[in-house]
Amino acid sequence: MSLVDGLITGLNAIQPGLGLDQRSALEHDARELLEDNHALLSLQQGELVEDFALPNPLGETIRLSELLRRGPVVLTFYRGSWCNYCSRYLSDLESFLPHIRAAGAELVAISPQTIVSSAQTVDALALSYPVLSDFNHAVARRFGLVFTLPEAFRKAYQDLGIDLPRFNGTSTFELPIPATYVIDVDARIAYASVDPDYTRRPDPQTLLVHVEALRLPIEARPVVDG
């Protein structure tokens, strides 16, 4: 599914029955989005992740390399707490957290939200794993996940009461494509799931399988199917 199809599918899921005029405007802007983002490429399995450091809701700096010294990292990029699908997935991951940690890994969630918005997310969902704020998509951009929301989509979001600049503390209308990675201790990506349809996320059990597989020889590890 293309990025554009994913956006329209997601909007249909939360705002059923888009009118003909609105859909036409969305599809027009969608074509421009494809042209503007034709070179959008995300990091994939086998590639190395550059070290980064981001703040958690307490203002503490969390550095990837420090986490990797203790074990693999399951890293998930989400759009924001205003996205019900994102919030539901964060809660699903929280339920699965004991299994992930028992396998020797840590779970980290990243969004472009401000520290205040991230703190509200942690409190509302009772999350016990690190939730980090990626101001202006600095880290998501390195992963090749960032795109600019077209004008018609901005209007649709605003009609739903979603004020992206307020949530993110910027004047831009950029979003990350939802993505989840399993990163080995050498900073190499062992599993990557990048889906432009934000209503779909990888099963936590799939993440656990790939975390546990890191204990196996490379030739014995499961094939990544996204």
What is the number of structural domains in the chain? 1
4 inside domain: no
CATH number, domain at 137?
3.40.30.10
Tell me the pTM: 0.84
138 inside domain: yes
Range of the domain at 89: 42-147+162-220
204 inside domain: yes
59 inside domain: yes
31 inside domain: no
103 inside domain: yes
Mean pLDDT, 10 residues at a time, the chain of 226 residues: 54 53 56 50 93 97 98 97 92 97 98 96 98 97 90 79 90 92 97 86 95 79 61
**8 — phi, psi (to 5°)?**
-65, -40
